[in-house]
Amino acid sequence: MSAYLQYVPDDRQKVCDTCGRSFKPKGFDHHQRACKQRARESEEDGELWASIPPVQDRSEPENVPEHTSVDDIRTEFHPHTRITTCIEAFSDFTRQHHYEPPCPDRHPWLPFRCQLDFEVAELAHETALTHEQTTRLIQLVQRGRTEDFTLKNYADVRNTWEAASHRLTPDTITVPLDGNDVKYIVYFRSLWDWGVDLLRHPDIGPHCIFDAQRLSKFDGDSFIRFIDEPWTADAFWECQSQIPPEAKPLAFILYADKSKLSSFGREKGYPVIAQLVNLPVAIRNGNGVGGGQVVGWLPLVKDDPKYKGTQQFANFKVAVWHAAFKKVLASIIPPSKHGHWANCWDDVVRLFYTLVLILSVDYEEQSVMSLTRGMMSNFPCPICLIPKDRLSSVMPHNYILRTCQAMNDLLIKARAERRKGQREAILKGQSIRDVDNTFHEMNHKTTDVHRALCYDHLHILQVLIGLLGRDYAVKVDQNFDALPRWRNMNHFDAVMAITFTDGSKYEDIFKVDLYAALEVHTTKTIAAGRKALQSFSELMNKYICKSEALRPDKNWSFPKIHLAAHLFDDIEAKGATRNYNTKPNEKCHSPLKESYQQRTNFKNVAPQILRADHWSLVSEFIRGRVDELAAYDARMDEDEVDKTGPDTNITSNFHIRFGSRQPKKSLEAIDKRHIDNPSFRRFRTKLNAFLNALPTVLQQVNMLPSDEIIEFRFLKVNYESLVDFCQTTDYLRCSPRFHNLPRYDCVIVNTATGVFFARLLFLFTCNVNDTSYPIALVRSYDMPIGRCLQKDKHLKFWRVRLQPRETASEFILAESIIQGVALAPDPTIPGNFLIMDTVDSDIFLRMKQMHLAAGHLD
């Protein structure tokens, strides 16, 4: 127990009968009531956990075909497809369509009159040139042109961009307030037209998936279901069951959040960004034509001192939001009920029923979308009817789930009351606002706003640490600075005093992937995740109890912690969290802010920003077609030359690949260059001993000082991911100067006696009897650490210690490296390091396996 929580009772203190702790008389009654309530809730939670049956993994060992092999993939298609279930070898399983791409358009730059016209306009747009600068650039190109060029001035460029496609159009909404009609402008584009544009796109359309699937992988005994994309989860399957058999679901993800456009936050925007669920996540969350696209720009209601803090004005702001959002949804409301035909990329006309499957927003927008009354209401959760005073629990519960139909019925019942007080009492009973919900206009069988809302875990670290005080904030900054650099992860010198416009950096700061962020889930990982959630809830209750004496006024019942209770229900319904976390869509805020700062006159900015955003989309589309034509022509013109010979700069096999080759050096030169480095002492002697111990070396080896080796400073390791069963690659560095800093990554090494962790010191190849051996000099982290610390058991840390002698380096074959790993120094114990098992979801699962094998977990 921390020293902060140790108390010495005296004659004036009272002892709590429930927890047995002593308190001063002041505040004792408050503690005793709260303590008894927590004890009752904990007992109820335990009974509920005990009553929940084990998770069923839908294994069917009795139906496994006779010739099924380990890792075979079974695909069960939705009954509407009339496609029989198939089982195929893992090596044959593919998620991509195989199709012959059509011959590219020979004039991909249209509506620009020639390619040079487009490329000059593209450059002017990318660099945010002013009208005058664009005209000057055109004049310069005209003076020195050697090919067709027809642009005359900025007006000509603008008119050509506008001719490329229709952009967002403005419309006016009217919402009453105190008997007066208040008008706002909302910008939107047809969601249906945008979706159909993607279906018709020759490069995007073929990747669309229209039918729900259930995928499972054979583990030797049974088929274990796995979930990743939305169409492999339950909600997509259920939605397809609600539409005619000949129809296909066309599903959307919608994201809405206010964005600061100016540096000081005085100017804000409210974009609505859409993604097409039917596209794979790599395209859907990527940049370019198939990624997120701005489809709306909502009005922002300014606070009025006259109505400040009133229920009337709060309802008015929500009513404005729904009236504006209805314009965004307008084009997909009729197809959600009656369907709509569309001609796709393959010239096949399909019947589509539209739906909103996912709403990717933070808690504030969730409350607005669901018409709940926010965190101070009696039932703040937009998904279920849990009381406010139970929000600190993330345990599963039997509280009623909200549904679109039930909320609509409640609204009708309340409005049937003549007296305002009675109407308010009915709505307040479930914390619902007296406002029409635009999502109720959609087909309620396939779109339910409460089911579409999702859990998002970003943007909370700084708040939690900030509550602990300045000293803790300084320690957090120091510890972040000490973390190793790692590919695809931002490195921070400090984190407590900075803010970002998108969630990608917040996600790296708050890198707690655990089960929530796995790219692929199985029934087993979901069950393990629910168990981890149970452990978290129990520890949270203990922490709240122990910390109450220090902060009796602290209220732990807030919605963000409770929403985690719905986390794994979301995963089962909509797939992995990367399908709906806010990070991909928050990336769109940066170009919008850039357009505000570089492409507007800071007056009436919405149409200027949206025009620039639309031009960017058109530019990406045309650029893609131009590059496609260039690549096609290059393939047609290239000579038939055998290009399968080895790359002289790298050495490789399937598992490992060396790169960043250095000039050949003799062993004598290596010794001289590293004479001050103890890890390189007796380099040649230890190398000879290592080579002679290899079973493939049949003759005695004696490398001489004049013998040469080739150093490499880059290592690529391929391995099968434990998450999605596909090949994954780690890019590792072993360099004295990488981006002006030394970088020596760590690895997991496989040996006959087990695995160990090591730091790369030197990569090289040497030739022995005409055979090239890829070798790594490493320093291992295999020093015994003694008795396992209690906190390591609780927090599931894997602790390692570096060999204290700097001369304790050794050679290994590079092929024995399993994968890379990041090690973080433990600031409390010098020389100790902790495995960063949250860098990515694969290392998390791999360390989970190692914990189980070592007996650290039940």
Closest CA to 482 of 96, 824, 144, 805: 824
Residue 290: predicted pLDDT: 87
Of the chain, the percentage scoring pLDDT greater than 90 comes to: 40
Q: What is the pLDDT of residue 585?
A: 53
What is the per-residue pLDDT across 759-818, written as a single tens digit (0 to 9) for each?
A: 999 999 999 988 899 999 999 998 877 777 877 877 788 899 887 776 679 999 999 999
pLDDT digits (tens, 9 = 90+) for 154-186: 888 888 877 765 556 688 889 999 889 999 999
Range among 103-112, 450-459, 650-659, 748-757 rated most confident: 748-757
Mean pLDDT value across residues 387-415: 88
- If pLDDT is split at 50, 70 and 90, which confidence band does 7 have? very low
pLDDT tier, 100 (very low <50, low <70, confident <90, very high otherwise): very low
**CA separation (Å) from 297 to 280, 403, 562, 632?**
26, 27, 31, 38
Q: Report in angstroms the alpha-carbon separations of 261 from 363, 499, 589, 596, 607.
A: 21, 14, 8, 6, 14
- Higher-pLDDT residue of 670 and 7 is 670
pLDDT at 59: 42
pLDDT at 531: 87
**Maximum CA pair distance of the chain?**
101
pLDDT in tens, 622-632: 777 677 677 76
Average pLDDT over residues 344-363: 94
Helices (H) and strands (E) in the chain, counts: 26, 29
Q: Which residues pair with 799 in a beta bridge?
A: 834
Cα–Cα distance, 2 to 184 (Å, whole number): 56
Residue 57 has pLDDT above 80, yes or no: no
The model's pLDDT over 182-192, given as tens digits with 9 standing for 90+, comes to: 999 998 989 99
Can you give the pTM of this predicted structure?
A: 0.71
288 or 510: which leads in pLDDT: 288
Euclidean distance between CA atoms 290 and 282, whole angstroms: 9
- Per-residue model confidence (pLDDT) at position 514: 62
pLDDT for 84 beyond 80: yes
pLDDT computed for residue 730 by the predictor: 92
Cβ-contact 391, 558 below 8 angstroms: yes
Which pLDDT does position 20 carry in this prediction?
63
Of 467 and 111, the structure prediction assigns the larger pLDDT to 111
Structural domain boundaries of the chain?
A: 3-51, 169-457+524-587, 651-853
Q: Which of 27, 30, 1, 25 is nearest to 13 (CA)?
A: 25
